[in-house]
Amino acid sequence: MIPQITPIELKQWMADGMEFVLLDVRTDEELALCSLPNHTHIPMNMIPMRHNELPDDVPIVVYCHHGLRSLHTAMYLADAGFEQLYNLQGGIDAWSVLVDSQVPRY
């Protein structure tokens, strides 16, 4: 089971200066609309070919639009041997609603 992290908890991690990777698995077209600060972008369909670019010694918070694709990606990464994985509950849409209304919703 992949643990969920809420947008509020993620904002607190950022405020605390916690070390983690924020992995955006949305498409290039979605990324052009909006993104979260300091993210790493690897589209979901590229994860099998590019997951070796990710560190395995810090937590990885995976996000997408609403949280479903990121959950599937986190499960794939868990199967690939990554251990510290979190799914952003509600995705970037929930971030916009709960944390930063300046992030456009789509």
**Residues with catalytic annotation?**
64
In Å, how far are 31, 39, 70, 83, 86 from 52, measured between CA atoms?
21, 16, 17, 14, 18
Distance, in Å, from the CA atom of 25 to the CA atom of 15, rounded to the nearest integer, reads 23
Q: What would the two tokens of residue 33 be?
A: 């609309």
Bridge-based pairing of strands 39-41 and 85-88 is: unpaired
